Structure 1
Amino acid sequence: MSATLTQSVTDTLDKVGKLKLSGEEASQSTPTGQEEKRRAEASGYKYAHLLPEWHTSLKLPPLEPFEHVDPGHQALKDPAPRSFLEGAAVRDITPNVGTEVTDGVDLTKLDARARSQLALFVAQRGVVVFKNQQAFIDSDPRWQIDDWGSFFGRIHIHPVSGYAKEFPEFHLVWREESGTSDERTYEGRINNLTVHSDVTYELQPPGLTTLFLYDSPPTGGDTLFISQTEAYKRLSPSFQSYLETLEVEHSGVEQYERAVKLHGADTVKRQPVKHIHPLVRRHPVTGEKALFVNRGFSRRIIGLKQEESDAILGLLYDHLERGHDFSARARWGEKGTVVLWDNRVTAHSALVDWSDGIQGRRHGARITPQAERPFL
């Protein structure tokens, strides 16, 4: 499966001219990004070559449907489905969601059986935080993408985000060391919580997702994860039954428009799409049901009047965002942290809680394999 999926990504990129941009194109980064890159290179920053650029001639065709078979299915047949954790230091972050593994697992050494077990474990716990994984973070990016990421699904290339020049498959997170970046603090709001699941506007949104930081401030910038499985379970049975009859339109248009406003039209690698998904989805491996809506990309419930749709979606958004008793925080201040989550059953939000007085570059990469089309 890994080789097939890797070839699919490679073929797509080859068709459009692809990875290595010319020096002229590389120089078209936003002024802020280019200035930060020059400072980083001058200071000897180890990961300067992986800082984001936005303006590009890389244009991708629409995504084609593909058949996804989740590797977690193999672990269901395994007589010891958590054997990859033998000897590891493991603790649950909360009872309902989140586990931390501090020692005893080297992600770079996991074979196919262990990776399948990992996929099942992440599906069951929602999010798993691995500490002491500097070897993984410093691995060859092509291995991270083509071997690691492609094992879990077809790699998604974000349609509008900044990316490292030679690795468009990386979705980069970035805040400049000087304290200004695309991650604006508050922007006229009283808080900056943006609970969402990634790119749910795609026909086949992501499954098991990997995020790691090359550099981060000593404090701040945690990621909040919310169990959409537990959120569904908290609802009354009659309301659950009604929600299971509904479908929701998800849209990437607004994200596209914001990217164009911030960075210009030539930041766009693929045109925006809208797709309709069930409001409640079922995980293909665990069989559990989860809410599948988010304020960032869900737009309307099909077949309802606008006021009805807004009322129901608003209630569910508030339910997710207030669900402190079914959420967990992943902390990034410790070097060597790698976080894996199942995008089908968890929502998350970056916590942009730094102020001008907190200095430090925040820079990392997300590997985003697509999964199956949502179903109930």
Structure 2
Amino acid sequence: MKQFISFVKKEFYHILRDRRTLFILLGMPIVQIIIFGFALTNEVKNAKFAILDQSGDIATRQITDELDASRYFDLASSLKNYEEIEHLFRQGKVKLVVVFPPSFNSDLQHFNSAQIQLVADASDPNTATTLTGYATTIIKDYQLRLLHDKKLPYTINTTARMLYNSQLKGAYSFVPGVMAMVLMLVCTMMTAITIVREKETGTMEIMLVSPIQPLKIIIAKAVPYLLLSIINIASILLLSVFVLDVPIKGNLLLLISEGILFTLTCLSFGLLISSVTESQQTAMFISLVGMFLPTVMLSGFMFPIENMPLPLRIISRAVPAKWFYDIVKSVMIKGLSFQYVAKETIILAGMTVFLLALSIKKFKTRLA
């Protein structure tokens, strides 16, 4: 045990000796959480939506068909009562629910006015705003065709209800993404050069002749970055709550636990890269291409996955940040319990075990 602690201390000395790198590791979350606190608007296509048709008349069916036929929406299910809406959003199966009140067509014909409610998942405010705008435009187009160029006083009004983020703050979307990106940078990129650095400086020989097992060497390399990542998780959450006014609606312990699990996943991947490369430049390049870029491009953080072609959507499932991004949105923004993120948690845990086992297997106990 004393030998293991000595290896952990040695790795801490490596980190603390380079003050500039330490400043970047601890200052990066603060900078990124502020920069990415501003919203970016992206086009959304093929978004899943549901219908709660309490009228069941020809007009509601026509509007439903219009929405489903557009390139922006895909009909996922038809609901029977209002209570099903929240359950459907909790499962993450739809982005929008269109609610038709009873006697919709009758009101339109007799009173020349009818109401439609659009219920959106505003945990991602940009997507919610975009989808409600698309749906409103499609409904307005249907209304114009209904008039047949006649000046009839038909009016279809839409009202929108934003769940989880009524003020449509962009930070609600970017905080989970920034958390995933920061942990990925700190864990994967920095651990990717740890073992390689030992090889380049010639200290690997000393480590290999020591009585400590390869598994303990790898764990000792990961412990300092795990502790730094926990500090980063805490700083991101504090900035989110007190600077960006993004509340933690779910269980804080669950959120931190999921963050630690994702950290272990990233550490495992970084150690794997470090074990199979021979230079720090190569390790850095592989970590950037292998994890950082997919985190930005394929996690759903910057660009909706629904917009992507099928091959990229399949590839995105192999990106750990995608599952962590979904977990943070569900727990922190929606306030959901573990049962709603159990699938994502199991996937991350499986990735961690696989990557760590592969790291140990690829770790060379001999330099030649």
Q: TM-score if structure 2 supplies the norm length?
A: 0.24
Give the structure-1-normalised TM-score: 0.24
- Point out which structure has higher relative CO (alpha carbons under 8 A, 6+ apart): 1
* More helix, by proportion: 2
Structure with higher strand content: 1
